[in-house]
Structure 1
Amino acid sequence: MIRLSETLMRYDEPAHDWNEALPVGNGRLGGMIFGGVGEETVQFNEDSIWYGGYRNRNNPDALDNLPEVRRLVFEGKLKEAHRLAEAALSATPRSERHYLTAGNLLLRFDHPAGETTGYRRELDLETAIASTVYEIGGVAYRREVFCSYPDQVMVVRLRADRPGSLSFNARFERNKGRYMDRSFRHGTDTVAMSNDCGGRDGLAYTAAVKAVASGGRVRIVGEHLFVEGADEATLLLAVAGTFRHADPDRHCFELLASAAACSCEELRRRHVEDYAPLFRRTRLELGVEERERARAGLSAAKRLERVRQGERDDGLITLFFHFGRYLLIACSRPGSLPANLQGIWNDSMTPPWDSKYTININTQMNYWPAESCSLEDCHEPLFELIERMRENGRVTARSMYGCRGFAAHHNTDLWADTAPQDIYGPATQWVMGGAWLALHMWEHYRFHPEERFLRRAYDTMKEAALFFQDFLVESPEGYLVTNPSVSPENHYRLPNGETGTLCYGPAMDTQIVGELFGACLEAARILGVDEEDRGEWERIMSRLPEMKIGLHGQLQEWLEDYEEKDPGHRHISHLFGLHPGTTISPDKTPELAKAAEVSLRRRLAGGGGHTGWSRAWIINFWARLLNGNQAYAHTLALLEQSTLPNLLDNHPPFQIDGNFGAVAGIAEMLLQSHLDEVRLLPALPDSWPSGRIEGLRARGGFRVDLEWSEGRLECATVQSTCGSLLRLRADAPLRVVRQDGTVPVFVEQREAGVLELQTRKGETYELRPR
């Protein structure tokens, strides 16, 4: 196997805390590896371990009070509207369930006397294996940890190069003073713990670890698993909960028995053969100078610190890009739950923002790179959650708003809860979550135009649109608008100094509704269905407010040209139409694009970009504005200001969406296809004069490889997976031939600067400057 450049994260000392530990995962099961010498901590999670159970939280007084809230909002009576909405349009109880840490596997080693030398810990992104090596007393020790998707266990392999020199004990522990409900043994080589997740009708789970040793002996004393005098040993960790399994004890022991029937080499081989093809679908290499290559031996933490001091390290950006793709594979696989605010990696019983699914930007951002970076398989857990949300969302739509279809607010949880979250004026009364999520299914179809999936997606999209057919109301200006709503999570300031959040028809709502109805229209045309509904959607779209440009030349965030209370607010929601939407672009709507840029610069001048995920969104905005140098500058800012030593995103605290948003932003700098045309190197920064990327995806069913030098395209290859029409925006004349170079390809130019090519399914085309 040929190694990609910059796919090895190196460190020269153990993690001092959780923010320096290295993540492993198989979608469902995850761990943070500290790499200690005398003691090792493996903090582990399982995606379904959440507090409590499902409750119907829909406010029974919402529907009766909705007309009055709307009247107060339309009449500008803010205090009265906020007071009534807080009571009637929040949920009962106000909060959804929260994600929990599963526990810690603690290892304590009996080493010979002597100093530790040759210490190194690594995370190999090509194999998804975390390793720790060191030498003590003339004995070399090696530890490898990986989470196997095929075998659904975590594997901890421990070796010593001197026979009989490996001795340690292992035990479970829970975090933050939470005690085990039950500690027990299974046979002579397995210890386990079972715990209640808490809450009425709450879940429970079991974690079990089994030791398989070569040489020496394995025994259990109390709740400790001892391995003594072994040449090498393998620990197998399994976790199962009642969300999926009626008998989690039994399921854990079955997983362990199945894994133990394989050699460690076989488990490792099966793991790598499953993981590596996913990771190697995309590769990025940025041209680096020799002085940068010399940094390859430095730890990732030291390289990050040098970047913070102003040194250039494009190789670190490459590593950061590959690490983000690794994380998505590690926390979102078919059969798992989708990535939450922390992926699957959480060490707290009360994590920040409950480590739920925040669906007014954060969950969506987690999946921005899934399609463009050829990890479409990893998108599937999100689709399954959206489809589970439909049932609860119908109840929310009907009982709280008197509407058909399904609706969701700005959070959801393990049980696909769709009722409002919190009593928090800037966010709670917002009904756009389901609509935005439904557009992810449309995006998947656009990248992979297969009718079978479109039929599946259309059912969800249409039901999300049906809610807005009923929910939208006529404003005093004659528009169809959302009311009540907010522009997440910002406050406006009125001329009299009064501030508020509730409003009608904010720009983001209108943009999402327009994108949703537009997607439904196109899908219905493709499928040849629902002609009557199409007419209704077109009528609604014609009555939505147009985007407006405000006093400062900015894109208005609200229907009225209000001032922001916080000019540097982390949410830049009114630029949804620029990214991830499609209604604002320099080519198609230059005036709106200029206004979006003014809005963006005003946010930044006010201190914006101070959270990791917000900075990642800003990278994508600049890429869509075709300003590669600004996109690059904010990529650096993300590394300098919002990245932890283990390269995880720092909100602060840790929140994984910034990692995924940054990967998507780098991909947007190199390839765009959201406007039904493919654009090569649309926002290439001056700092990347040469490089190559392989395995990007473009909408329409295309796989694209790019190579450039001196800031110009050298060669592109486009593989057609569906035989679609390729519309290619070319800034310079291109020569297009089939990859074998023998048959010229006819290209028709219907629009200035856009080449059209009817591709054939499975064929690859080579493009070079003339």
Structure 2
Amino acid sequence: MNQSKKRLWYEQPANDWNEALPIGNGRIGGMVFGHIERERIQLNEDSVWYGGPRDRNNPDALTQFPTIREHLENGEIREAEKLAALACTGIPESQRHYEPLGDLRIDFHHEDDVFTNYKRELDLDRGVATIKYMCKDIAYNREVFTSYPDQVMVIRLTASKEKEIAFQLFLDRGKTRNIDDMKAVEPDYLIMDGKTGGENGIHFHTGVKVLVEKGVITSIGNRIIVQEANAVTIILAAATSYRYEQPASQCVKTVLAAEQKSYEQLWETHLQDYQSLFHRMDLNLGKDNRKHDIPTNKRLDLLKEGEEDLDLISTYFHFGRYLLISCSRPDSLPATLQGIWNDQMLPPWDSKYTININTQMNYWPAEVCNLSECHQPLFDHLEKMREQGRKTAQIMYGCRGFTAHHNTDIWGDTAPQDMFIPASIWPLGAAWLSLHLWEHFEYTVDITFLDKAYELMKDAALFFVDYLVETPEGELITPLSVSPENTYLLPNGEKGSLTEGPSMDIQIIYALFSSCIEASKRLNRDHPFRAELTQLKNKLPALKIGKYGQIQEWLVDYEEAEPGHRHISHLFALHPGKQINPRETPEWAIAAKRTLERRLKYGGGHTGWSRAWIINMWARLEEGELAYENVLELLKSSTLPNLFDNHPPFQIDGNFGGTAGIAEMLIQSHANDIHLLPSIPKAWKSGEVKGLKARGGFEIEMKWDNHQLTFLSIYSSHGGDCRIRYNILRKEEYAPYQQEEQIRILHTKEKERYILIEGAEDRFESMERV
């Protein structure tokens, strides 16, 4: 497959932040604007957050809990919510927020102000942003990348003639007052040092080294000045007290190590590391690449006008993989609402971790897209949350185990965030996040990982062993919660959000108990707890179908105050859960379809991440045309010129959810088999994909033409049986619903690859025997 066409490119510099190009190595991020004379690279370091850790748990929650429950049971919703707003809020209400590191500014000197042949590009295949232009018959070139192995940002400036590079370089942090030092400590080394606000604020430090070839370098004040250079390499390092006792010393150490290498060595080290992840998989939808020579923003405009562009969809998919590699690597923090790319001191929703869908969605593509390592920061953060969540469980609810609400921050804070009744009092955040541990095991079959992860999963489940209460009908429900972030209507017209046993709660707990039970079996341990969970799981309420034929959102079939709400929480059991699927639960699948139709009818999917979730849901229902319709709508209505997702404003979860949705259309492995091409639309008539992962430790490569599978290769990392489901056309032309479904059982050996041999009886053969 052609790697060179995976790019975003533009004919002009970025007009604003939403047009700039993102680069990152998990910890250090940059947004490259590409201005010719006044370049701006907006900087982030993932641990620059306002303030230190705090205990925000409200001790009055436990004492007031019985009264709140009594109000709910008596139908006194308003009284329950008033008391909950006092007793269940965190004190203070808000968690810590993410901040930008600052800006790197480069003011270039050109002897002419006429520029031609401008091109700004993000090369997804190589992980580098480039800016090219001509001035007075001189070709100028900039390359910007962030190296994970060397932990630095590198900027390379070259010109086609000698002595033609001249600029002033400085660091900036806007109008903030928390900069303690900003100066050139050497003619070629510039620093910015400061501390975020609040008690125990984080100390941050940035160091920039300018390496000049054949030029003159001086410094005046807080500017480095370069004149008559042939080429320049700029190395930027950043560190904070979150990781290092002496951030300034760490920056010097990092820069010193990097400058011992040539630019070519820095580049090769970065390229080898980045491509070791990015090249694991590929996707090509069709063979029409005629639009490669059209700028990305114009291609997006043409798509909005109704033109087909399958290759842009492939690019969008690869952009999602690029973003995950760039903002979530081992030893970094997890991807926030904006990945690592944020330019505001007080960003929307604090640019932290919203864990009632958004953080989870960030990691939906991690396993299926062969980027398991990028999942690790979430697991590390969950361990941090466990310590805080045990306190929250005990202080607020008098329960064992650990819990979290709908947000967390750099310190793993688990107390409620803000006081927004439809969202804040929802103790399911840790439970949902813990399911990612099980998902990682399902894809990797890493029993050593599961042995450690099980204790986290168990602690999340243990909270609900204590928290669940029994109804008069003998069912177990959560006594106090919400359906994020929706509101119901009582028959008297009163609105409410606080409730008992909303459907999403029960579905998440069902999935968590199921995962813990299966993990206990795999590890052959903890038999008494397994038996207890099995008993409790059997007492959870079954999914209910409401008066509109929809999956019921609440324990009572209330009317919705907002039928087109962005959250579709009650379909967790469809995706990312596994309770609903068209074959085993057809009645629930029909109700799920009805739920989606109602949401969309009333304006649902109006935020980028919500539209992305809808893609995944339609894919699970094997409704390829509807899934594709929503892929197009995501690009048309919720995608910015630089392909960032637009909530609005920018949130990265829609990018990751969209990438995961496209993968879900190509392969599904949640229902005890590997279903190939379960939801491809008519438009995806032919294509090829390699490197997709399936549960059970399998890696898939396949090609299809005229909607029919023409090549299939399966690599088995751990051996075992592999159940394959795919369709074979028995007619010459594409005829939906007239395909014949094939199921094959493949008995695999560890680390062996198999290919499908076509014939009268389709069969698999080991590559070693073929």
TM-score, structure 2 as length reference? 0.96
1:766 counterpart = 2:755: yes
Q: CA deviation at 1:144?
A: 0.4
What are the Cα deviations for residues 111-133 of structure 1, in whole angstroms up to 9, with x where unaligned?
Answer: 12241011001000011010000
Tell me what 1:98 maps to: 97
Query: For structure 1, which segment, 447-456 or 371-380, has the greater mean C-alpha deviation from structure 2 after superposition?
Result: 447-456
Tell me what 1:414 maps to: 410
Q: CA deviation at 1:181?
A: 2.2
Once residues 39 and 105 of structure 1 are traced to their aligned partners in structure 2, the CA distance between those partners, rounded to angstroms, is 10
Amino acid at match of 1:760: K
Q: CA deviation at 1:3?
A: 4.3
CA contact (8 A) 1:166 1:230 kept: yes
Tell me what 1:372 maps to: 368
What are the Cα deviations for residues 615-663 of structure 1, in whole angstroms up to 9, with x where unaligned?
Answer: 0000000000001111111000000000000000000000000000011
What is the aligned length? 749
Q: CA deviation at 1:531?
A: 1.3
1:125 counterpart = 2:124: yes
1:168 counterpart = 2:167: yes
1:434 counterpart = 2:433: no
What are the Cα deviations for residues 129-185 of structure 1, in whole angstroms up to 9, with x where unaligned?
Answer: 100000112211100000000110100110111111100011011135556321133
Tell me what 2:766 maps to: none
Amino acid at match of 1:282: M
Q: CA deviation at 1:200?
A: 1.1
Query: For structure 1, which segment, 106-115 or 332-341, has the greater mean C-alpha deviation from structure 2 after superposition?
Result: 106-115
Once residues 176 and 673 of structure 1 are traced to their aligned partners in structure 2, the CA distance between those partners, rounded to angstroms, is 51
Q: CA deviation at 1:348?
A: 0.4
CA contact (8 A) 2:44 2:342 kept: yes
For the residue of structure 1 that corresponds to 2:749, the secondary structure is coil
CA contact (8 A) 2:403 2:430 kept: yes
Once residues 635 and 6 of structure 1 are traced to their aligned partners in structure 2, the CA distance between those partners, rounded to angstroms, is 21
Amino acid at match of 1:64: T
For the residue of structure 1 that corresponds to 2:588, the secondary structure is helix
Tell me what 1:613 maps to: 609
For the residue of structure 1 that corresponds to 2:532, the secondary structure is helix
For the residue of structure 2 that corresponds to 1:426, the secondary structure is helix
Once residues 605 and 114 of structure 1 are traced to their aligned partners in structure 2, the CA distance between those partners, rounded to angstroms, is 53
1:441-452 to 2 correspondence within 5 Å?
A: 441-452=437-448
Amino acid at match of 1:508: M
1:651 counterpart = 2:664: no
For the residue of structure 1 that corresponds to 2:422, the secondary structure is coil
Tell me what 1:720 maps to: 716
1:354-369 to 2 correspondence within 5 Å?
A: 354-369=350-365
1:48 counterpart = 2:47: yes
Once residues 388 and 178 of structure 2 are traced to their aligned partners in structure 1, the CA distance between those partners, rounded to angstroms, is 34
Once residues 552 and 723 of structure 2 are traced to their aligned partners in structure 1, the CA distance between those partners, rounded to angstroms, is 32
Tell me what 1:20 maps to: 19
Tell me what 2:208 maps to: 209
1:555-704 to 2 correspondence within 5 Å?
A: 555-704=551-700
Amino acid at match of 2:754: Y
Q: CA deviation at 1:757?
A: 2.4
Q: CA deviation at 1:477?
A: 3.5
For the residue of structure 2 that corresponds to 1:687, the secondary structure is coil
Amino acid at match of 2:61: A
For the residue of structure 1 that corresponds to 2:711, the secondary structure is strand
Amino acid at match of 1:493: L
For the residue of structure 2 that corresponds to 1:504, the secondary structure is coil
For the residue of structure 1 that corresponds to 2:516, the secondary structure is helix
Amino acid at match of 2:325: I
Tell me what 2:384 maps to: 388
What are the Cα deviations for residues 499-535 of structure 1, in whole angstroms up to 9, with x where unaligned?
Answer: 1000111110000000000111111111111111111
Once residues 461 and 74 of structure 1 are traced to their aligned partners in structure 2, the CA distance between those partners, rounded to angstroms, is 31
Once residues 726 and 158 of structure 2 are traced to their aligned partners in structure 1, the CA distance between those partners, rounded to angstroms, is 56
Identity of aligned residues (%): 52
What are the Cα deviations for residues 652-704 of structure 1, in whole angstroms up to 9, with x where unaligned?
Answer: 00000000001100000000001111101000111100000000000000000
CA contact (8 A) 1:492 1:565 kept: yes
Once residues 382 and 38 of structure 1 are traced to their aligned partners in structure 2, the CA distance between those partners, rounded to angstroms, is 40
Once residues 649 and 175 of structure 1 are traced to their aligned partners in structure 2, the CA distance between those partners, rounded to angstroms, is 25
The unaligned stretches of length 5 or more in structure 1 are: 735-751
The unaligned stretches of length 5 or more in structure 2 are: 731-740, 760-770
Once residues 176 and 294 of structure 2 are traced to their aligned partners in structure 1, the CA distance between those partners, rounded to angstroms, is 38
Tell me what 1:480 maps to: 476
Q: 2:509 aligns with which of 507, 513, 516?
A: 513
Tell me what 1:499 maps to: 495
Amino acid at match of 1:165: E
Tell me what 2:142 maps to: 143
CA contact (8 A) 1:713 1:768 kept: no
CA contact (8 A) 2:186 2:219 kept: no
Q: CA deviation at 1:603?
A: 0.2
CA contact (8 A) 1:168 1:227 kept: yes
Tell me what 1:269 maps to: 268
CA contact (8 A) 1:6 1:315 kept: no
Question: Aligned pair in 2 of structure 1 residues 733, 3: CA closer, same or farther (>3 Å)?
Answer: closer
Tell me what 1:87 maps to: 86
Once residues 589 and 142 of structure 1 are traced to their aligned partners in structure 2, the CA distance between those partners, rounded to angstroms, is 58
For the residue of structure 1 that corresponds to 2:204, the secondary structure is strand
Once residues 70 and 508 of structure 2 are traced to their aligned partners in structure 1, the CA distance between those partners, rounded to angstroms, is 24
What are the Cα deviations for residues 169-212 of structure 1, in whole angstroms up to 9, with x where unaligned?
Answer: 11011135556321133332101111111111111101111100
For the residue of structure 1 that corresponds to 2:142, the secondary structure is strand
For the residue of structure 2 that corresponds to 1:610, the secondary structure is coil
Over aligned residue pairs, what C-alpha RMSD do you find? 1.3
For the residue of structure 2 that corresponds to 1:219, the secondary structure is strand
What are the Cα deviations for residues 248-287 of structure 1, in whole angstroms up to 9, with x where unaligned?
Answer: 1111111111111111111011000110120011100011
Tell me what 2:767 maps to: none
Once residues 548 and 218 of structure 2 are traced to their aligned partners in structure 1, the CA distance between those partners, rounded to angstroms, is 73
What are the Cα deviations for residues 564-589 of structure 1, in whole angstroms up to 9, with x where unaligned?
Answer: 11011000000000000000010110
What are the Cα deviations for residues 9-32 of structure 1, in whole angstroms up to 9, with x where unaligned?
Answer: 111100000000000000000000
Q: 1:544 aligns with which of 531, 540, 546?
A: 540
Once residues 558 and 118 of structure 1 are traced to their aligned partners in structure 2, the CA distance between those partners, rounded to angstroms, is 59
CA contact (8 A) 1:3 1:126 kept: no
**Could you list the runs of 4 or more consecutive aligned residues of structure 1 that deviate by over 4 angstroms after TM superposition?**
176-179
Tell me what 2:227 maps to: 228
Once residues 108 and 764 of structure 1 are traced to their aligned partners in structure 2, the CA distance between those partners, rounded to angstroms, is 54
CA contact (8 A) 1:180 1:193 kept: yes
Tell me what 1:743 maps to: none
CA contact (8 A) 1:73 1:483 kept: no
For the residue of structure 1 that corresponds to 2:117, the secondary structure is strand
Tell me what 1:553 maps to: 549
For the residue of structure 2 that corresponds to 1:637, the secondary structure is helix
Tell me what 1:464 maps to: 460
Amino acid at match of 2:306: G
1:268-307 to 2 correspondence within 5 Å?
A: 268-289=267-288, 293-307=289-303
